[in-house]
Amino acid sequence: MQPTIAIAPRLTTLTLFGIKKGHLRWGLAQMGTSAPKLATVPGLLFYKLLGSGHGRGFSIKPNFYRYGLLCTWENEAAAENFFCSSGLMQEYQQHTFESWTCYLQTLQSHGQWDKKEPFTPAESLNYSSGPIAVLTRASINLQALPNFWRFVPQSSKALDDAQGLLCSIGLGELPLVRQATFSIWESAEAMKNYAYRNPRHQEVIKRTRSENWYSEELFARFIPLKTVGTWNGTDPVRSYVAG
């Protein structure tokens, strides 16, 4: 039985850019110079420019050739207009060898990002099967940094063998202290099996609470509606969502 989706007017997009060799300085500079341009984009309600790390999850080692842009839009028309017509996206195209955008509809979200709640779950939504995207992000308390980076990479490494994981990436606003992970799973069951049965992940969850690792955190689940472009030369979820 096919899932029933009530399309909400707002949506979220995550775009990953692959920076061309020789354009490293340009890519790094966009973390600061793109923000004023994004602030004036019509219909853009929330945005975050994100660096990335090596591996599938939180990583202490940055990847200076992969950057992300997370956005929440008033509607799909605003998003399409930005990706197809904006001068900023045309500039990115000149400096990147690939880009991949995933259109997302919020299933559930709790927590805050910079004291905001950027993701609004759709109303009257029945989604019982199909791929699930997950975003986790946190601002890490400075006193908790040593333990966080001692234990979290072990949990992230467990993603390498996670059953049903289609793709994942570690993202961040600031090195070491403001981190996020984005992943897409074949199903909610696959995601839950990793989250609740993997001992490394369970240890991290336990320490997060007992040692007060985070000053702010957010957890959200989404329905991947469609994807455009490539990530590492392919689209990891093309066969699971509409193109």
Q: What is the C-alpha separation between 109 and 214, in angstroms, rounded?
A: 17
Residue 99, Cβ neighbours under 10 Å: how many? Answer: 19
Sorted by where each begins, the domain ranges of the chain are 11-229
The CATH number for 11-229, chosen from 3.40.440.10, 3.30.70.100, 3.40.640.10, 3.40.50.2300, is 3.30.70.100
pLDDT at 28: 93
Q: How confident is the model at residue 2 (pLDDT cuts 50, 70, 90)?
A: very low
Q: Which of 230, 195, 228 is nearest to 102 (CA)?
A: 228
pLDDT at 243: 57
What value does the CA radius of gyration of the chain take, rounded to a whole number of Å? 17
pLDDT surpasses 90 at 104 = yes
At which residue do the structure tokens 């006193």 appear? 143
Which is more confidently placed, 97 or 120?
Answer: 97
Interval 178-230: pLDDT, tens: 889 999 999 999 999 888 877 777 777 788 888 888 999 999 999 999 999 99
pLDDT at 1: 40
pLDDT at 67: 96
This prediction's pTM: 0.90
129-154 residues labelled b (16+ CB within 10 A) or e (exposed): eebbbbbbbbbbbeebeebbeebbbe
Q: Which of 212, 59, 60 is nearest to 141 (CA)?
A: 212
Percent helix, strand, coil in the chain, to 5, is 30, 40, 30
pLDDT at 9: 64
Question: For residue 95, with 0-12 CB atoms within 10 Å meaning exposed, 13-18 middle and 19 or more buried, which class applies?
Answer: middle
Interval 20-54: pLDDT, tens: 999 999 999 999 999 999 999 999 999 999 999 88
- If you write DSSP's letter for every residue of 138-175 in order, what string do you get? EEEPGGGHHHHHHHHHHHHHGGGG-TTEEEEEEEEEET
Three-state SS at 193? helix
pLDDT surpasses 60 at 120 = yes
